[in-house]
A and B are shown apart, each in its own frame.
Chain A
Amino acid sequence: MILIHCPYCDDIRPELEFAYAGEAHIARPADPSALSDAEWEKYLFIRANPRGRHNERWRHVHGCGRFFNAVRDTVTDKFELTYKAGEPRK
């Protein structure tokens, strides 16, 4: 089982306590009605989907409940690091 460090609990917990929540650092447009359909589509659906290092959101859903960000390698499934929501991209 993969073990994941929760930056809020500051503890390493089994992956069963966590839920994946998609790519990280996607800011909601401040004024959605000013966007074209193509721009709105890009915000809603288009993701980087890299092979390798990926900044992504996780939630410690069966733990402290907090969302946080992680850098995970999509090839090896190894977690490089985790950091609190709101911190800059790492």
Chain B
Amino acid sequence: MADAAVRTAPVPAEAAEFPGVSIALGAPLARWSLRARDPKALAKAIGHKVPGTIGETLGGMACLGPDEWLLRLPEGASIPLGEGLPLSVVDISERAVTLVLDGDRAIDALSAGCPRDLSKFPVGYATRTIFETVEIVLIRESETRWSVDVWRSFAPYLWTALTTAASHLR
């Protein structure tokens, strides 16, 4: 029996197009969950700048909590694991997939299920939040482009919810 891991996409490979917004599966990413009491020690250990304020992003790294960060880099990237140091570097690359919403109406499709006021998010803002009943990490990449990291097993539901919301936009 072949012992090879095969990655399958949990949502359609083709982007879904609607007036004002497209919804597509993003490219696979390398992702790490990073925990540390001391952001400076973490920055030194992994050789990456660490954003200091919850919601801020810096070079693919988002500050999600007072001692928690999410680092997203292109697939294949690697970082030091900080062995022996009082911090935690956990590879969670395959736990989530990214859905990318692009277009003027992307904010309206997201607002159909997210209780936050998305118009207040500055470009570069990242947050863990909720869409309907599904936890997501939402990143505003530009005025019109949004990245939604969602756990792989929730992706088919989120895809259906977002494309349904987008199809109802008037």
Contacts and interface: CB of A to CB of B under 8 A. Distances in A.
On whether the two chains bind one another, the answer is yes
A53 interface: no
A65 B115 contact: no
Interface in B54-90: 54-55, 64-66, 68
A68 B6 CA distance: 41
Contact of B130 (A8, A10, A11, A17): A17
Nearest to B135: A62
A65 B135 contact: no
Instruction: Summarize A's interface: helix, strand, loop or mixed.
Output: loop
B54 A16 contact: no
B145 interface: no
- Chain A's interface size range is 10 to 19
Given A1-B115, A9-B54, A13-B116, A65 B65 contact: yes
Interface of B: 54-55, 64-66, 68, 115-116, 127-130, 135
13 contacts: A11-B55, A13-B116, A16-B130, A17-B115, A62-B135, A63-B65, A63-B129, A64-B54, A64-B66, A65-B65, A65-B68, A65-B128, A66-B66
Interface of A: 1, 8-11, 13-14, 16-17, 62-66
